[in-house]
Chain A
Amino acid sequence: MDCKRAKGLVLSDYTDGVLRGHALEELELHLRSCSSCRRLAEGVTSTGELLKSAARVDAPQAVWNRIRAEISRILIKEGFVETVLERIRYGLYHLRPTVMATAAIIVLIFVLATARFVSYMNYSAALSVREDIVNMVSLNGEERGSGEYDIGTSAETFFL
């Protein structure tokens, strides 16, 4: 085994105890004969142990106090929202006849208003067509100057 491969294994699988079988035997053989790789293995192990021994720290009590206070606020807020939703649900269930009657009246008013609006629009459109025809026929009569408009044509009689 060459040093490059040995160092790669020392920095990962060997130190983490997941190297098995022939590869492990080969590496251990290499470490016995190569002081550079052996020192690396010792350095990785000792630094890892130093980190394990010194770095674990408990969170200060103040952190939990703040978390607890914030959770209480969240629960109060959720409780308020839940109460409002519950009231709406209660209202919809127990006041169902009133709610249905109100909804029916609103729908009826809407339908009547729509019908009246459509009727008005149709009437306006009819008036507009009538005015267009009058103008068209009058214009034809004046251009000709024949007095046909005054006499009355079949078209005038039909439309007007």
Chain B
Amino acid sequence: MREIAKEIIELAAGGDISAFEEIYKAFSSTVYTVALGVTRDSRDAEEVTQDVFLKAFRGLKRFKFGSSLGTWIYRITVNTAINVYRSGARRRAFGMVDYDEIKDSVPDLRNTSKEEIEKRHAAESVDRILKDLSFEHRSCIVLREIEGLDYKEMAQVLGIPINTVRSRLKRARAAMVTCAKREGLNHGL
């Protein structure tokens, strides 16, 4: 998990928008990726990202340096994503990620190379695999496989004991492999 200098956090907590932008740059990709991984909807992911950073801005004055800023932001992200996912007020039917809205970060297919097409196919496979998982399993898989958090960090973010992380991850991976098999990946299974 990337960390930010204490001075930057203190400046941001005091209302320095440039300092806060540094925090945003350090964590926005992580927050958006987790939000997209959990909600599987680019608009919801944007909403979650916006909410997370506004909550972080308001909460920085109360941030205790005993814990990691990254863990704190992950925790806000997962909780916010849960709320947005469960609210369903603005959420549309459970569809594919809208790639037009994230074209800044995904290559334009008009200039496609073989590598880019493969990347796009991989992204679509990932989308289908994650979509087939339950919300609980998806959160685990995103934090472990995509973000690379260890068990202790996952326990802190999810607010559960390490042994629960381990057992939840086992079930999540079993479900993930089953989905991958259904998607035609891992033919050998």
Contacts and interface: CB of A to CB of B under 8 A. Distances in A.
A63 B151 contact: no
A106 interface: no
Nearest to A41: B177
B86 interface: no
A58 B50 CA distance: 13
B78 interface: no
Given A11-B174, A12-B170, A51-B129, A57 B32 contact: yes
Contact of A51 (B45, B46, B146): B146
A4 to B, nearest CB: 12
A119 interface: no
Interface stretch (B1-9, B62-70, B101-109): B101-109
Interface residues on B, range: 35 or more
Interface residues on A, range: 35 or more
Contacts of A8: 170
Contact of B177 (A47, A59, A71): A47
B181 interface: yes
A33 interface: no
Given A11-B174, A50-B185, A61-B104, A56 B53 contact: no
Secondary structure at the A interface, as helix, strand, loop or mixed, is: helix
Interface in B134-189: 141-142, 144-146, 148, 150-151, 166-167, 169-170, 173-174, 176-177, 180-181, 185-186, 188-189
A90 B15 CA distance: 23
A42 B15 contact: no
A58 to B, nearest CB: 4
A60 interface: yes
B101 A11 contact: no
Given A51-B129, A57-B29, A44 B119 contact: no
A46 B186 contact: yes
Contact of A48 (B53, B145, B189): B145
A78 B58 CA distance: 11
Given A52-B146, A54-B123, A60-B102, A46 B29 contact: no
Contacts of B180: 43, 46-47, 50
Contacts of B129: 47, 50-51
Interface string B110-139: 000000000100110110011000000000
B57 A59 contact: no
A127 interface: no
A11 to B, nearest CB: 4
B123 A58 contact: no
A57 B54 contact: no
Nearest to A8: B170
B15 A58 contact: no
Interface in A51-103: 51-64, 66-68, 70-72, 74-75, 78
A51 B54 CA distance: 28
9 contacts: A11-B169, A12-B167, A39-B188, A42-B188, A59-B32, A59-B45, A60-B101, A68-B17, A74-B57
Interface of A: 8, 11-13, 15-16, 18, 39-40, 42-44, 46-48, 50-64, 66-68, 70-72, 74-75, 78
Q: Which 6 residue pairs of A and B lie closest in terms of their CB atoms, listed nearest first? A: A59-B32, A54-B122, A58-B105, A11-B170, A43-B186, A51-B145
